[in-house]
Chain A
Amino acid sequence: MELNEKELEILSILEKDARIEIADLAKMVGLSIEETEAILNKLENDKVIVKYLTMIDWTKVDDHQGVRAMIDVKVTPKQGVGFDEIAERIYRYDEVQSVYLMSGTYDLSVIVEGKTLNEVANFVSQKLSTLESVVSTTTHFILKKYKHDGIILEQEKKDKRIVVS
């Protein structure tokens, strides 16, 4: 669907700050609060805006560090349904955070989250690898997040500019 300039502006703002107050959002795009709300409703109804999420740095919270792994999965696609069927079988698991169909040397990129390394390892060996069309898996554990969805974690916030110029 084709969106107009204001709609695109609203999306670009919300993508960075989902909690912005509607009054501020309206001022930024130069519309009334009512007009802005109408656009939001439309974008939500059309599922262009799918959800408003919070980005949390769980490593800062005791006992909530968790483990995240990116798993390269090779599969045998099925006639008629291609990769969709196996992708669906994989994304139904609660442990699975994301599933992407990839170009290149493997087929599906699966991101799995668990409380411990063991939990993720068990998921891969007992659930994922045993699926009929899965040919092979390669598991990469994430050791440290530096930048996530465009946000640099632990960024130095100092303004290096002189105060008045």
Chain B
Amino acid sequence: MKATGKSYVSKTVRDLKPSGIRRFFDLAAGMEGVISLGVGEPDFVTPWHVREAAIQSIEEGYTSYTPNAGLLELREEITNYVKNRFHVEYSPSEVIVTVGASSAIDTAMRTILDPGDEVIVVEPCFVSYSPMVTLAGGVPVPVQALKENDFKILPSQIEAAITDKTKALMICFPNNPTGTLLNKQELEALAEIVKKYDLLVISDEIYAELTYDETFTSMASLPGMRERTILVNGFSKAFAMTGWRLGFVCAPEEISKEMLKVHQYALMCASTNSQYAGIEALRNGREDVEKMVKSYKLRRNFIVNSFNEMGLTCHMPGGAFYAFPSIESTGLSSQEFAERLLKEQSVAVVPGDVFGESGEGHIRCSYATSMEELKEAMIRIKRFIDSL
């Protein structure tokens, strides 16, 4: 095969950039005594009663497929949950239980995109949005939320990126990596643009439960937006269930029934036992969520105040569990900063540029880590900065 220079791998995939997070994982993985602020998942283990529900389903022999869209019982719980928490009403037939929020986004992209369709992707953001657009045959159009606006995207920035090929807008608030949350007015302003140009919004609301000062508003709850929003959410962050790979997507019937085709051909259904765990989480997990949110909030305050005190400017993130301090004052690029911090002080953080151009000059630090480790990490980062 080398002789002919032919590759068995598609050009699209060959051209995909490897994830910048992956590179840091490889760097940090071999090292001893590393304190990691690089972890994008809760430090809590899934609440016991939720684990127990899955164990029980295994004991009772629920080991076969569920309906493609997921267990009806779970979809009913999801509709109640979305209605009570986020004030959007769906019928169970408008809900698909997915393999984490990631598969929900992938399914959405493959459902809505024709070759060449553009999706405006608000950056900094989770590393997989643009590749998923590309893999679905679309063209990602990154738009940069700026640090001078506390990483809140402005409607005018979106409007400037719209072409006659623009199909959808991809957003995530509270945001990974910046923690930024848009309030209701700010979301409404975005919604006006979306409606004006007849776009669709894919709203990744996976961090919706993790907000601290302001209440979360779902894009789909705004007037006129339910019919043009694909709402993505899941169990990973709110219920500390990352490893279960359980998410869901809600969309108006004419979209959800088409998404179900993609989902059923690609994935059949989400893991059955995870779905049983999901039912328990939604029915009896509210207190767990509240307890975790309280704990994240205290740690958020600690880490943000610590960064500002040591001279790394950091806005107070409204949600998620990431602080996104600026490291521009050090004169290092975010890659240099993260790599040297890891090598010299054994603290792993993720350089901000991997999440998009405007993330350069920042580092993503997860505070879903014990207070003891956070304290030690702050001491080490301070030491690192003082050594520069």
Show the binding face of A for B, using Cβ within 8 Å.
9, 12-13, 17, 20, 24, 27-30, 159, 161-165
Contacts and interface: CB of A to CB of B under 8 A. Distances in A.
Interface string B1-41: 00000000000000000000100110011000010101111
B43 interface: yes
B302 interface: yes
Contacts of A159: 36, 43
Contact of A28 (B34, B38, B43, B301): B301
Contacts of B309: 27
Contacts of B371: 17, 20, 24, 28
A164 B294 contact: no
B302 A164 contact: no
Contact of A29 (B24, B38, B301, B348): B301
B301 A27 contact: yes
B34 A163 contact: yes
B66 interface: no
Nearest to A10: B298
A165 B38 contact: yes
Interface in B243-296: 294
Nearest to B45: A160
Interface in B41-72: 41, 43
Contact of A164 (B24, B301, B305, B375): B24
Nearest to A160: B45
B358 interface: no
Interface residues of B, number: 24
**A-B pairs, 10 with minimum CB distance:** A164-B38, A27-B305, A164-B25, A28-B298, A163-B28, A165-B40, A28-B302, A30-B301, A27-B302, A164-B24
B321 to A, nearest CB: 12
Nearest to A162: B25
Interface of B: 21, 24-25, 28-29, 34, 36, 38-41, 43, 294, 298-299, 301-302, 305-306, 309, 348, 350, 371, 375
B39 A29 contact: no
6 contacts: A12-B294, A24-B375, A159-B43, A163-B39, A164-B24, A164-B28
A161 B306 contact: no
B160 to A, nearest CB: 33
Contacts of B375: 24
B253 to A, nearest CB: 35
Given A9-B298, A17-B371, A28-B299, A163 B305 contact: no
A29 B212 CA distance: 12
B41 to A, nearest CB: 6
B43 A24 contact: no
A165 B349 CA distance: 10
B38 A163 contact: yes
Given A9-B294, A20-B371, 15 more contacts: A13-B298, A17-B371, A27-B301, A28-B299, A28-B302, A29-B301, A161-B41, A161-B43, A163-B29, A163-B36, A163-B38, A163-B348, A164-B36, A164-B38, A164-B350
A62 to B, nearest CB: 28
Nearest to A17: B371
A30 B294 contact: no
A30 B299 CA distance: 10
Contacts of B39: 161-165
A143 B111 CA distance: 61
A163 B38 CA distance: 6
A165 B21 contact: yes
B128 to A, nearest CB: 12
Contact of B302 (A12, A24, A161): A24
B365 to A, nearest CB: 12
B45 to A, nearest CB: 8
Contacts of B298: 9, 12-13, 28-29
